[in-house]
Amino acid sequence: MVTQAKPNLSKLTREEKVQLLELLQEKARRKARRKLYDYAPYPRQIDFHNEGAHYRERLFRAGNQLGKTWSSAYEIAMHLTGDYPEWWGGRRWDRAVVGWALGESMESTRDTLQRLVLGRPGEWGTGTIPGDRIVGTPKRAQGIADAVDSVAVRHKSGGLSRLYFKSYEKGRSKLQGETLDFAALDEEPPLDIYTETLTRTNATGGIVWITFTPLKGMSEVVRLFLQAPTAARKDVNMTIDDVGHYTAEKKAEIIASYPEHEREARAKGIPTLGSGRIFPVADSLISVDPFPLPDLWPRIAGMDFGWDHPSAAAWLAWDRDENTIYVYDAMRVRESTPAEQAPTIKSKGDWIPMAWPHDGLQHEKGSGEQLAEQYRAQGVAMLHENAKFPEGHSPDGQGRVSRTSVEAGLIAMLDGFYANDPARYEQQRVNTGEDKPLRIKVFSNLTDWFDEFRLYHRKDGKVVKLQDDLMAATRYAFMMLRYAATPPKPKAGQLVRRRRGSSWV
């Protein structure tokens, strides 16, 4: 690699220094007008963009100042210009497009999406849209200082894309009539504004996305994505732990600066959840980097059956020496049959016992066959009975709670999560008399698992049975931990499949 030597400024004449300064200023000017090509997103931002290929509706739910609006501004520029990076797996257009950028008011639209997409007034072309792709001068909006109504952008196909800036405050009627390819909403919109905007893309099969921090709690729009998911609707969550532009010390300082009741929303994009989270535990307390699992550690998996809501499975490994359970793998899939799921399940170890809920005893209407039997017929190692605590086990210590009790399972799991805190661990040792109380840790790469974990909550004291598929699967495996097994010993001459990283070899 050849490196360019830095000039020795002390040997330059005054004229040469002036010329060098002018060159550096011109280089900085050109770089500022080509921000699009320097975009280096975090993994969760990439996830958000790439989901656009599969879902018409996306919510990018994130904490404050983590980069969610920048993500929106970059995607806007990519669609307008047709310039997509090599890593891009999201929606593409090979023609000029029409889009909207919306905010709560024209002032807030001007100060956020307009500024990030175009640059500041007098500096048009220093935003995410490259300066040389802006055609003419952006059209000014009436009545709002420095606000832009629309801008024309040259698409790589040669056509002319157009972006219009809008606001929620003018109401639904002002958003009618247009046909769009995409719309980007910054900050949470009223439900009627969102549905009207989505309607503008119906004719084109276009896409709509929202970026915001959910400070309004479980509002109508949040519920739409979190509690009424569809095959066209996707929620992506990014927390302060997912970004790298803050040090660990700075992250802690930022979180501590927020009022306690706003911390989860402002730092992790987690809305206020009814009566509260079921597992009010920080990700960092239970998260561990993935590592190869010893064959001597027994494994077990749990499954939650689904169709309209996803089927889900979670895999657990038990370090008996340290009495620590590791949730090391997970699967969640919608509208998939046992025959379709079985190859994936068995690829993670066809010998691993699979726990399942009581509804596995129900008969499927089409075939008349029990759900559990359908998986068993596909070679999945379903346990002989549905998930329950062992005989004689008294979850409440008084024998009044059922062996299949959801609450008993949740309390036991919460104890396992809390035990990762040294102070709580010592307290549990005192309370239980156990030398090593059970701890539960989770591999940090299980994004879908952590998404559910953060949102698992109660309303009016009852567990909300939405977006809880992986939590239920984990609980079933946990309840049947006594059936965890190690890999079978191979016969003479038989190849052995062993765990290496996140795959079997």
For 486, the token pair is: 């190690």
Instruction: Write down how long the chain is.
Output: 505
Burial 40-56 (b: 16+ CB within 10 A, else e): ebbebbbbbbebbeebb
**Which residues pair with residue 208 across a beta bridge?**
57, 183
> What distances in angstroms separate CA 128 from CA 98, 120, 153, 374, one per listed residue?
17, 12, 12, 52
CA 428 to the chain's CA centroid = 33
For 77, the token pair is: 């520029």
**Helix, strand, or coil here: 381?**
coil
Query: What is the spatial distance between Cα 186 and Cα 103, in angstroms, rounded to a whole number?
Result: 5
From the candidates 51, 75, 187, 452, give the one annotated as an active-site residue: 187
For 68, the token pair is: 């969610």
Q: Is 132 exposed, middle or buried (0-12, 13-18, 19+ CB in 10 A)?
A: exposed
Identify the sign of the CA torsion 414, 417, 423, 427.
Answer: positive
> What distances in angstroms separate CA 440 from CA 298, 432, 473, 478, one per listed residue?
14, 17, 15, 10
DSSP track, 250-310: HHHHHHHHS-GGGHHHHHH-PPP-TTEESS---HHHHEE---PPPTTS-EEEEEE--SSSP
**Which residues pair with residue 60 across a beta bridge?**
211, 236
Q: Tally DSSP H helices, then E strands, for the chain.
A: 16, 19
Query: What is the spatial distance between Cα 232 and Cα 239, in angstroms, rounded to a whole number?
Result: 23
Looking from the CA of 353 toward its CB, the CA atoms found within 13 Å total 21
**Helix, strand, or coil here: 163?**
strand
For 168, the token pair is: 């929620």
Which helix or strand (DSSP H or E) is residue 102 part of? Answer: strand 98-103
**Helix, strand, or coil here: 493?**
coil
Is 340 among the residues known to form the active site?
Answer: no
Active site residues per annotation: 187
